[in-house]
Structure 1
Amino acid sequence: MSLIAIQPIDIANMFNLLFPLLLCVQFAHSLPQTYDAIVHCLDESGVPQDYPGSSNFTADIIPYNLRLNYTPIAVAVPSTVPQVQGAVLCAVNLGVKVNPKSGGHSYASHSLGGEDGHLVVDLKYFTETSVDPVTNIATVGPGARLGNVALSLFEQGERAMAHGICPGVGIGGHVLHGGQGYGSHTYGLLLDFLIEADIVLADGSLVTTSETQNPELFWALRGAGMSFGIVTSLKFRTIPAPPQNILFYYPYSWNQTQARAGWDAWQAYCGGETTPVIPLEMNVRWVINNDTEGRLLFLLEGAYHGSEEDFLDAIGPLLDELAKIGGFEEDVRGVGTHELGWLDALLYANSNGLFSNWDNNQTLETPLNYTAHATFFAKSLMTSNLSPAGVDAWIDRLYATGPTSPTGWYFIIAAQGGPTSYVPTIPQDATSYAHRSSIYEWQLVAQTTTPPFDDAGITWLNPFISDIEAAESNVTLGMYYNYADPTLSKEEAHERYWLEHYGRLKGIKESVDPGLVFLNPQTVGN
């Protein structure tokens, strides 16, 4: 039994990664005047840069998602705020669009512009992570990777924040659009920890934002930050690192009838209208895919922040209901619970726990130049409990096409919200993040191990969303920007990612970036 997961690819051994080099050579000849002008301006402004033909440019522009290759006009690589300001002003003066890149993990390659010809401002040298020993407030650079941040916070007083479990993700894009992870249900989104941010605006000015300084812009940054400028520093409240963390794994192999009953039990546990069972401390999700024999596999996994005794009491009602359904895979390695300290829990979760070796040289520490890549198409959905018709549509589609998919795939459905979660305790309009009323975050991924990606995977994946929505009386459900879907039109993206908050966001965009300097195909205001 094994899961198909996004696989890291070694750049040195992958011929397909030479493709961006061919693109950049062609691109360098297509816009010579602007190309020469931006290089000259960055030089004159003292901004370090890479450009088509320079030694580091090819590596700079390899996207995380190898399905979507774009060629920037140049890549600014600043290490100081004045250099960021200089890069922005050069782009403005020459009419070039700008995109910040914190970790480069964008599913839609938006950190490269989402199209050719933009100036990328790579923030990889903005990696400071320091904790004030009196206030326990952490100051973090937007280019810092989550694994490195977790290590630094723990080393400085055993502090922590709730964030994602992939150590190579840059904190900038992660926090500014939400920031879900194994602690979201208990402690909130990472953006709920953010208390201040410094940002370079389209006019080159540096402003500080918080609840008391430029509060309207601060509201916008917490949910749609990439659209408004380049954040150069972030301040977070922190919490004591949870000393007891139970990582758990319960695999099931179900037929369609069992899966239908299992989903009812899941929804009653996480979001029952009268008596939801899931406690605050529980963070739980399903990971679903098919094995080499075509069987559909359901892995119930997550993290409980507390003792194993309390965890067993908390998960018991759900496991009891699933036991009535059957299909439990008893002989799978790693099944059950693992009690770990905070850092070991993050490491174990990142290693996929059940499906990886515990001692497989995984590490939270991430190098400056990140080299993990994948080839995939992803969609997302934010829902509460589905209606009976919605569950039928979802399960029917899963069993009709899951075993015969044209590509590899995996789905993750996490209970981030709901009646007992921290997430909806923050008012819906307190930040521009628009999905606090949702219980479940769906991440649906079709993938290949290497390029090229067969577009049949897109055709296969899209109906999972449309079937659910048709069954839910054709409602428009939210989607999560950090799982950006580039096949959405800009109008669809605006509505899906930001729902009723989009109008307010557009007004703020018009006030701070009327020239649409910070732009990709789906940004606010485009």
Structure 2
Amino acid sequence: MAIFKSLLVALTLSAHSVQAAPQKYTDVVNCLASSNVPQDYPGSSDFTQDTIPFNLRLNFTPVAYAVPKTVPQVQAAVVCASKVGVKVNPRSGGHSYASHSIGGEDGHLVIDMKYFRDTKVDPSHNYIATIGTGARLGNVALALFNQGGRAMAHGICPGVGIGGHVLHGGQGYGSHTYGLLLDFLVEAELVIANGSVITASEKQNSEVFWALRGAGYSFGVVTNMKFRTIPAPAQNVLFYYPYSWNKTQARAGWDAWQTYCGGYTTPQIPAEMNIRWVLGKDSGDNLSFLLEGAYHGSNDAFLTAIAPLLNALSAIGGYQASTRGVGPHQLGWLDALLYANSNGLYKDWDNGQTLDTPVNYTAHAIMFAKSLMTDNLTPAGTDAWINRLYATGPSNSRNWYFIIAAQGGPTSVVPKVPAGSTSYAHRDSIYEWQIVDAVADGIYPNQEGIAWLNPFITDIENAEKNVTFGMYYNYADPTLGGGKAAGERYWLGNYERLAKIKKKIDPGLLFANPQTIGT
């Protein structure tokens, strides 16, 4: 029912958009047609379907929608937008939490890269993989493995497009061990604002290459990318340990977690461990804490590696062995990417898809989300968010959840890459927080939901002596506003350098949404 309602809304907005800007609509559509650029015409069923956002809370209507199949068609679409004077947004998988891939507001030209989806591995050149920016992670994983048993570290949701994922970070169940996906990127081909095609790498257009690896969609339409690959890990342990905790237990559990992940004097977490908490509702005043992740190594090595944390949590209590099949599961690489529950059912949260994801795959949510990048919190910071969690979480009837992943820390590969080598600005952060407040269907209560979630951030930062923590652009938060205010959250001290590169390569701000560089 929610999808059907959104289709009606999209159709209505399409008609409204055409009426509000008839000349630009006519000019863009005619320019694309005369340039032989395939497009979904506004008002058509294809347009309606393709412009449904991932986050149904934020519905926007493009003025036109290009679906190119060749690089010259991408160039022509960019030239058309420049001539007519409309903003451009590339779309790879369309999973933007803020609907940035369809503009983040009405009236933009979307260039959907879904047909740029090939993955080709060259065994004669160190197994470098050339991948289209519209390829989905599941298809990429399959293709890499089938072409020489290769792999990369990336997210675990098969339907996510690789373009936005890699160009702003690319965290997943291999980040702690192998690094971010953007650290695998060695070259990118992109169409820039003047319609020309450039290659960006460490040797060519190196400033643009620096900018792409962290803030990519501000600088052009990336068409194809080259990545280094690694041999797919043969041994992978997936694990799940659920706990039901009251406030006192949660406070103690967080201390044990920080000691395990961020103990710089005697670190306990090994490089092979990729681990996170998933928090949600339970029963009464208790909340659910699920410890899960992937260990790249043998089952015996995993049990040794996880023991310090499990021993500390055992002393706290609250273990819920009966809630799902738990503990370690030894799997091969592809199965490890799919394995999501103790029954061995191969599905993920993206509508139960397998790795082989269709070109017109879609997934939807109705939510408001925020992120935070932190080191170990002080006792005051820990008290601040735990207190708010237990004061408001049990009474929140919506589908809220927290995911807190150990991305960095003393044994992680992520901070070992020099901080200034890419525009991604959060290498020194140990934890990546994703905080989501959602509803299953219907209309999201914006005022209520935003008012519930935002104070978690302010409470933590006020307790941490008014520290301003970074945030992750792939969990974009439109309530941050635009321009420098948002930019210095997403890119911290790199924002000014990024703004200078943006001004040079895209002086007219052709590639823009409300939170891109320079807006």
Question: Would the TM-score normalized by the shorter structure come out above 0.5?
Answer: yes
Distance 2:347 2:431 in 1: 32
- Please report how far the alpha carbon of residue 402 of structure 1 lies from its aligned counterpart in structure 2 after TM superposition: 0.6
- Please report how far the alpha carbon of residue 52 of structure 1 lies from its aligned counterpart in structure 2 after TM superposition: 1.4
Distance 2:148 2:311 in 1: 40
Residue of structure 2 aligned with 1:206, choices 197, 200, 211: 197
Distance 2:362 2:130 in 1: 26
Note the alpha carbon deviations across 1:182-238, whole angstroms, 9 max, x for none: 000000000000000001000001000000000000000000000000000000000
Matches within 5 A, 1:276-425: 276-291=267-282, 293=284, 295-348=286-339, 352-354=340-342, 357-358=345-346, 362-425=353-416
Question: Identity across aligned pairs (percent)?
Answer: 68
Distance 1:75 1:355, change over 3 A: farther
Normalised TM-score (structure 2) = 0.97
**What's the counterpart of residue 181 of structure 1?**
172
Distance 1:511 1:521 in 2: 19
Structure 1 stretches of at least 4 aligned residues deviating more than 6 Å after TM superposition: none
SS of equivalent to 2:465: coil
Note the alpha carbon deviations across 1:277-313, whole angstroms, 9 max, x for none: 0000000000000136563000000000000000000
> Aligned pair 1:514/2:507, yes or no?
yes
Matches within 5 A, 1:498-509: 498-509=491-502
| Unaligned residue ranges in structure 1 (runs of 5+) | 1-8
Asked whether the equivalents of residues 406 and 457 of structure 1 are also in contact (C-alpha less than 8 Å), the reply is: no
Matches within 5 A, 1:13-412: 14-134=4-124, 135-291=126-282, 293=284, 295-348=286-339, 352-354=340-342, 357-358=345-346, 362-412=353-403
Asked whether the equivalents of residues 6 and 52 of structure 2 are also in contact (C-alpha less than 8 Å), the reply is: no
Distance 1:262 1:362 in 2: 34
Distance 1:87 1:358 in 2: 39
Q: Supply the AA of the counterpart residue of 1:86.
A: A
| Unaligned residue ranges in structure 2 (runs of 5+) | none
Query: Structure 1 stretch 292-301 or stretch 384-393: which is displaced more?
Result: 292-301
- Please report how far the alpha carbon of residue 354 of structure 1 lies from its aligned counterpart in structure 2 after TM superposition: 4.1
Distance 1:471 1:277 in 2: 27
**What's the counterpart of residue 465 of structure 1?**
457
Distance 1:375 1:142 in 2: 26
SS of equivalent to 2:293: strand
Distance 1:320 1:145 in 2: 39
Asked whether the equivalents of residues 67 and 451 of structure 1 are also in contact (C-alpha less than 8 Å), the reply is: no
Note the alpha carbon deviations across 1:10-42, whole angstroms, 9 max, x for none: 95xx33332111111121112111111111111
- Please report how far the alpha carbon of residue 273 of structure 1 lies from its aligned counterpart in structure 2 after TM superposition: 2.6
**What's the counterpart of residue 475 of structure 2?**
483
Q: Supply the AA of the counterpart residue of 1:49.
A: Q
Q: Supply the AA of the counterpart residue of 1:331.
A: S
Distance 1:467 1:113, change over 3 A: same
**What's the counterpart of residue 3 of structure 1?**
none
Asked whether the equivalents of residues 338 and 347 of structure 2 are also in contact (C-alpha less than 8 Å), the reply is: no
Asked whether the equivalents of residues 246 and 285 of structure 2 are also in contact (C-alpha less than 8 Å), the reply is: no
Distance 1:368 1:359 in 2: 18
Asked whether the equivalents of residues 50 and 56 of structure 1 are also in contact (C-alpha less than 8 Å), the reply is: yes
Asked whether the equivalents of residues 25 and 63 of structure 2 are also in contact (C-alpha less than 8 Å), the reply is: yes
SS of equivalent to 1:324: helix
SS of equivalent to 1:501: helix
Distance 1:80 1:468 in 2: 48
Q: Supply the AA of the counterpart residue of 1:291.
A: D
Q: Supply the AA of the counterpart residue of 1:97.
A: K
Asked whether the equivalents of residues 39 and 66 of structure 2 are also in contact (C-alpha less than 8 Å), the reply is: yes
Query: Structure 1 stretch 18-27 or stretch 56-65: which is displaced more?
Result: 18-27
Query: Structure 1 stretch 97-106 or stretch 405-414: which is displaced more?
Result: 405-414
SS of equivalent to 1:493: helix
| Root mean square deviation of aligned Cα | 1.4
Q: Supply the AA of the counterpart residue of 1:340.
A: L
Distance 1:298 1:81, change over 3 A: same
Asked whether the equivalents of residues 502 and 524 of structure 1 are also in contact (C-alpha less than 8 Å), the reply is: yes
Distance 1:330 1:515 in 2: 58
Distance 2:39 2:344 in 1: 39
Note the alpha carbon deviations across 1:414-460, whole angstroms, 9 max, x for none: 00000100000101100000000000000000000113001211110
Distance 2:18 2:417 in 1: 48
Distance 1:406 1:17, change over 3 A: farther
Residue of structure 2 aligned with 1:497, choices 479, 490, 500: 490
